[in-house]
Structure 1
Amino acid sequence: MISRRERALSYAILIVFAALATLPLIGVLTSALAPRSQSSASFSWPDRLDWGNFSEAWAEGHFATYLASSVLVTVSVVLLTAVLAILAGYSFAHFTYPCRSLLFYTTLIGLMVPPEAFVIPLYFNLRSLGLTDSYWSLILPQTAQSLAFGIFWMRNFFRSVPSSVIEAARLDGASDWRVLWQILVPSGRPALVTMAMLVFMWTWNEFLLPLVMITNESKRTAPLGLAFFQGEHTTQFSLLAAASVIVALPVVILYVFLQRHFISGMLSGAVKG
């Protein structure tokens, strides 16, 4: 039984860490809403709020184009990763075939290799195929990067499903394909949402691959566009803060709407190793 003092101490610690996490966000928001005359790199509360910084940053930074590119790349990566991770995870969890464990652990090597280690040879390989400066040069590598985690995550979820559920479905005449898509996938929505959100955030925030692969301005993603915008407005802190909020907002909105599934999946999506 937790005593009142222990509960109060726990809440106090949580409040302190929440304040530490929230304070930088408040600083960015106040800077984004500060008038040009009060724009500063340090934290300060403006006398009035200037919402025009967002429209100005949006227009000058061409963020409509950059966000459209990011949405296209990110949604494509999430969908491809989800489908391939479901198929591979189900295979590793419930099928028996030679070298299954070896293949699985070989796949996990992808979790240990940083993108910086292969981005240069990857660039030359994609250039030889004529794929650089295209959306495929972002979608295919980032799908491959996310697959190791996705397969690991979905395999653990499928292994956590009681075998009696699968056996009962097969006794009723359900094929493996039907068991997967009509029984396991619907029941694994929290785990799927968690995986999709993590892949979404990783893909949305990716900077190195677009920097190396993309030279066409119309195909720049939002983080890359923000970096170029920062280079052009180095001392205009209000515009930089407003642009940062614009780029981060889709991830925040997605998390707000899906946080219940995200937390549920984090708690139960990877029960078994």
Structure 2
Amino acid sequence: MTATTAPARPSTPAKIAPTRRHRNGKRPRTITDWVLLVAAVVVAVLIAFPFILILINSFKSPQDYAATGPLQLPTQLYFDGIVRFWERVDFPQKLWNSIFISGVVSVLAVLVSVLNAFAIGIGRVRARTSIIVLFLLANLLPQEALLYPLYYMFKQVGLYDNVWSVIIIFTVIQSAFGTYLLSSVFGTFPKEVLEAAALDGAGRWKTLWRVIVPISRPTLSVLLIFFFIWTWNEFLIPLTFLVSNDNQTVPVAISVLQGDRLMDVTTTSASALLGLIPTLVFFLIFQRTLTRGITAGAVK
């Protein structure tokens, strides 16, 4: 009589210790997370401090500023500084000049950048690398080196002290950067998409506006926003080429009045606040577009 042996019991795999998580399913914060959070808060406070200082002192009277200093809250709201700056520089006219110049430059610069980048990145023109390096060097050239030749040129053609002189200059400057950026983006554009468009009978012009531009819209939106803000904040070239009071932009008007002996600290803060508000509103309006464009990544 033979004894029957029981089948071997399969060994159970070792249990893996579950990752420690909170009740909501998120992992607990580590010391590194808290250090990074504190550092981010400190950097944010340092960045916001000048704007808070401008906001506080814009609503102070000169007597209140002299008595309490720049860091104390105003004892009562004082709007004469804002009103005085608004009336002295004709702020609506300066605001319109800045909006018009920045808006036209941003649209034209993006359009020129798209056309140049399409020819370089997809059209594969000869000496493509040399042309891209040339555009890169154009971005590295300081504006001070351009003042005299541009001044002489626009004097000859009769565009000196005209907003279109500044528009032409900044369109060329901004499109140089846009061409350099978009050339690398269009250079990695999927060939399958281009071949499919060609099989459907689309020519180069239709491929550009019906295929490439819609897919690249997040990148173009970011360029448009940056070009607007960069042009708005430009100072040296508008100061040189827009000498008439009616043609000046907001940054030029602020800087010119800061040298006026009638300007006090509170009026100067009010002028800085009025110059900051339009760009802040523009950024808040297009914040979602900017975020989508940055997180979109490369063209897929």
Matches within 5 A, 1:93-242: 93-232=121-260, 235-242=263-270
Structure 1 gaps, min length 5: none
Q: Report the Cα distance in structure 1 between the residues aligned to 2:215 and 2:86, rounded to whole angstroms.
A: 41
1:12 aligns with 2:38: yes
Which has the larger share of helix? 1
Give the CA RMSD over aligned residues.
2.1
- Give 2:241's aligned amino acid: M
CA distance in 2, matches of 1:5, 1:239: 46
Q: Report the TM-score when normalising by structure 1.
A: 0.91
Any stretches of 5+ residues in structure 2 without a counterpart? 1-26
**Structure 1: how far apart are the matches of 2:168 and 2:198?**
35
Q: Distance in 2 between matches of 1:108 and 1:2?
A: 46
Task: Note the C-alpha offset of 1:52.
Answer: 4.3
Quote the sequence identity (%).
Answer: 27
Q: Which has the larger radius of gyration?
A: 2
Q: Does 2:49 correspond to 1:23?
A: yes
Segments ≥4 residues shifted beyond 4 Å:
267-272
Per-residue deviation at 1:204?
A: 0.8
Partner Cα separation in structure 2 for residue 110 and residue 91 of structure 1: 18
Q: 1:66·1:225 contact (CA, 8 Å) conserved in 2?
A: yes
When structure 1 is superposed on structure 2, of 173-182 and 10-19 the one drifting more is 173-182
Q: 1:270 to 1:236 in 2, by over 3 A?
A: farther
> How far 1:225 sits from its partner (Å)?
0.8
Residues 1-52 of structure 1 show CA distances to partners (whole Å, capped at 9, x for unaligned) of: 8952221111111111011111111000001122332135732211122344
TM-score in terms of structure 2 length: 0.84
Cα 1:234–1:23 shift into 2, 3 Å: farther
Q: Relative to structure 1, is the Cα distance of residues 271 and 236 closer, same or farther in structure 2, using a 3 angstrom cutoff?
A: farther
Contact 1:110–1:148 under 8 Å retained in 2 = yes
d(CA) in 1 for partners of 2:80 and 2:147? 39
The answer to whether the 8 A contact 2:189-2:299 is kept is no
Q: Is the 8 A contact 1:54 1:243 kept in 2?
A: yes
**Bigger shift: residues 226-235 or 88-97:** 226-235
Considering Cα pairs closer than 8 Å and 6+ residues apart, tell me whether 1 or 2 has the greater RCO. Answer: 1
* Match in the other structure for 1:253: 281
Say which of 69, 73, 77 aligns to 2:101.
73
CA contact (8 A) 1:156 1:270 kept: no
